[in-house]
Amino acid sequence: MTIGFIGLGHMGSAILNGILRNNLVPADSIYVSRKHPENAQPFAAQGVHVLLSNSEVIQAADTIILAIKPNILVSVLEEIRENLNSRHLLISIAAGWPPDRLQSVIPEDVSFICAMPNVPASVGAGCTILNEKGRYSEEHMDTVRRIFNSIGTTHLVDNRYYSACGSLTGCSPAFVFEFIESLCDAAVLCGIPKNLALSLTAEMLSGSAQMAIHAGSHPGILKDSVCSPGGTTIEGIRALHEHGFHAAVMDAYIRAVEKGNRL
């Protein structure tokens, strides 16, 4: 298998790092296009081929990861269209480009899968949503899973849930970072040094998330297990309810989904 990258920003670099870290393919089986090759020097030093044009990548590789901004996807596809053929598998991570839309602008004999990774992929803890609708074989899906499992986990979802799931995994890290900042600010106000506050908060969230994954219990039950009668935790929970925490989180997510549907 040969893998090509069109676009090598933060997410493209995270995926490429995951592929190299997990030895999915040899470095010399990977091709990337960069108008400024010097910016890809760390990858070139590992044996990755750095090319000057997108068309060269298409000619060299059979699995193509489109890691570009949604607003330039059409122009890039127009540029590479004449070089695409039945040997290619396109993997698009462009937000706002569900399968129907992508299928309408690529040749009929080109296989494709739509995927939405998220920011934690940069530290190998990503959660990638794969759209069940597309044009691909079981072998293609296995390839895509191996690529994105190298940066975290993958979840294959029905097309009707794709956008909403993408917003849940893609937007919510920002909500979590906002929560971390708020807790750290409160901790600093209570006299805890900022660096210590950040470490404790991040580790607490990581551990709590692991509990939610492995316990198999409703989050409300997990919450109740921390709240002693008349204790400090239930006092804090009351404050969250007084300030509309639950409703605010729900509204933030719903607005993100609605915005995504308008793109």
Q: Are 102 and 126 in contact (CB under 8 A)?
A: no
Handedness of CA 4, 170, 39, 72 (dihedral sign): positive
CATH domain 3-157 topology: Rossmann fold (3.40.50)
In the DSSP assignment, the letter for residue 71 is G
C-alpha span between 3 and 16 (Å, rounded): 9
C-alpha closest to that of 150 among 16, 35, 34: 16
Residue range 42-65: average pLDDT? 95
* Residue 74, H or E segment: helix 73-80
pLDDT digits (tens, 9 = 90+) for 54-66: 999 999 999 999 9
- So where are the chain's domains? 3-157, 165-262
What pLDDT does 36 receive? 78
CATH architecture under which domain 165-262 falls? Orthogonal Bundle (1.10)
pLDDT digits (tens, 9 = 90+) for 201-220: 999 999 999 999 999 899 99
Residue range 65-88: average pLDDT? 93
Q: Are 7 and 90 in contact (CB under 8 A)?
A: no
